């Protein structure tokens, strides 16, 4: 296997695959309240097509895959799809990001199918506030999903928290405390201006530095070395805690110089940067009957166009058109 290096000397080994733009929630920072106009059945890549892209991507150096969405667990046949990806030689890490609502039913089968790691999004520990942020979600389903996932052997569970000033920043310490007695990783993510209607405003943004300073009230945070699964998160631990705390500072301290990611959208577009709408239409090539060698070439060319850095914090930046639910975060 070759390891493709992009034009800025970054090895590209991580593919995030959004398998659906559909979701059973409507988080206020991700989707408009009436949802987004959904892709038609034929517009979505079939599982066989995604598996083929994954096979070819491995030949360019991809070794880590994350399944995301929309909500990946709403797509039928997900367990067999996970098994097909897990079966690909060269995939060393297979993970999923989910809102956890349907996880209770699927956790054991996903584990058996070969899923290695799970990230679960949970932006409030308060049932009413959770329902408000997700516009209808039931937090008890998420807790049931987390318990089942732990029983199924997923460890550690990572909890993603998008911090929003005036919405859930009053819960930063409660989330941090969870890491004291549970073996969970709490990962605070900066609120990002992705999608036209996700409510992002400067006043609602809260930086990881500010979150970290607030958590220091509970005890000193010692920095931990990054491991294979921590990605761009800077990981810390409060003294004596069973779990960890991570910070993903996509805006305040971007990690573009070490970005190793590609993203595949549900309609088969390959994106080389979360914040750029520049895309390569793999679906068109797949459906015109391209060979694996041609596909490899197309993926390689796309990798070489990966921008050096995002421009999301610059005054000229226009929010990208595609919403987070159609990119996969």
127-134 vs 139-152: helix crossing angle, rounded to 10: 100
Q: Which of 2, 20, 95 is nearest to 57 (CA)?
A: 2
How many whole angstroms separate alpha carbon 305 and alpha carbon 136? 40
How many whole angstroms separate alpha carbon 324 and alpha carbon 166? 21
x/- map, 56-75, ligand SAM, by CB under 6 A: ------------xx-x----
The stretch among 23-31, 212-220, 228-236, 305-313 that binds ligand SF4 (CB under 6 A) is 23-31
Contacts of 163 (CB under 8 A, 6+ apart): 169, 172, 188, 189, 190, 191, 206, 211
The stretch among 75-83, 109-117, 188-196, 280-288 that binds ligand SAM (CB under 6 A) is 188-196
Residue 31 interface partner, choices ligand SAM, ligand SF4, none, CB cut-off 5-8 Å depending on type: ligand SF4
Least distance in angstroms from the C-beta of 252 to ligand SAM: 13
In sequence order, which ranges of 31-126 are alpha helices (DSSP H)?
Answer: 47-60, 78-86, 103-113
Read off φ and ψ for residue 97, nearest 5 degrees.
Answer: -110, 130
Residue 124 interface partner, choices ligand SF4, ligand SAM, none, CB cut-off 5-8 Å depending on type: none
Which residue among 15, 23, 163, 189 contacts ligand SF4 (CB under 6 A)? 23
Lookup: tokens for 71: 């909500």
Q: Which of 80, 81, 76 is nearest to 65 (CA)?
A: 81
Asked if residue 99 binds ligand SF4 (CB under 6 A), the reply is yes
Least distance in angstroms from the C-beta of 25 to ligand SF4: 4
Residue 238 interface partner, choices ligand SAM, ligand SF4, none, CB cut-off 5-8 Å depending on type: none
Which parts of this chain interact with ligand SAM (CB under 6 A)?
A: 23, 29-30, 68-69, 71, 97-99, 121, 160, 162, 189, 191-192, 194, 198, 324-325, 328-329
């Amino acid at each position: 296997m070759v390891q493709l290096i992009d034009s800025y000397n970054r090895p590209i080994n991580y593919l995030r695959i959004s398998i659906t733009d559909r979701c059973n929630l409507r988080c206020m920072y991700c989707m408009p309240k009436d949802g987004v106009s959904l892709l038609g059945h034929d517009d979505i890549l079939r599982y066989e097509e995604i598996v083929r892209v994954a096979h070819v991507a491995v030949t360019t150096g991809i070794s880590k895959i994350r399944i995301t969405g929309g909500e990946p667990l709403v797509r039928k046949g997900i367990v067999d799809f996970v098994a097909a990806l897990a079966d690909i030689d060269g995939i060393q890490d297979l993970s999923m990001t989910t809102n956890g609502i349907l996880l209770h039913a699927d956790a054991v089968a996903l584990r058996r199918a070969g899923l290695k790691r799970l990230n679960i999004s949970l932006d409030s520990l308060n049932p009413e506030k959770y329902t408000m942020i997700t516009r209808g979600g039931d937090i008890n389903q998420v807790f049931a999903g987390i318990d089942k996932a732990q029983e199924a052997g997923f460890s550690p569970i990572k909890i993603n928290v998008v911090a929003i000033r005036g919405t859930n920043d009053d819960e930063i310490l409660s989330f941090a405390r969870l890491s004291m007695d549970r073996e969970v990783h709490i990962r605070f993510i900066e609120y990002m201006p992705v999608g036209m209607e996700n409510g992002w405003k400067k006043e609602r943004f809260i930086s990881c530095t500010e979150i970290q300073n607030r958590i220091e009230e509970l005890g000193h945070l010692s920095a931990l070395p990054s491991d294979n699964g921590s990605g761009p998160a800077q990981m810390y631990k409060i003294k004596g805690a069973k779990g960890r705390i991570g910070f993903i500072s996509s805006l305040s301290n971007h990690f573009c110089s070490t970005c190793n990611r590609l993203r595949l959208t549900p309609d088969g577009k390959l994106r080389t940067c979360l914040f750029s709408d520049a895309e390569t239409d793999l679906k068109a090539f797949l459906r015109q009957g391209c060979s694996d060698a041609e596909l490899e070439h197309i993926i390689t060319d796309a990798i070489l166009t990966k921008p050096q850095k995002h421009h999301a914090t610059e005054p000229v930046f226009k929010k990208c058109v595609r919403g987070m639910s159609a990119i996969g975060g």
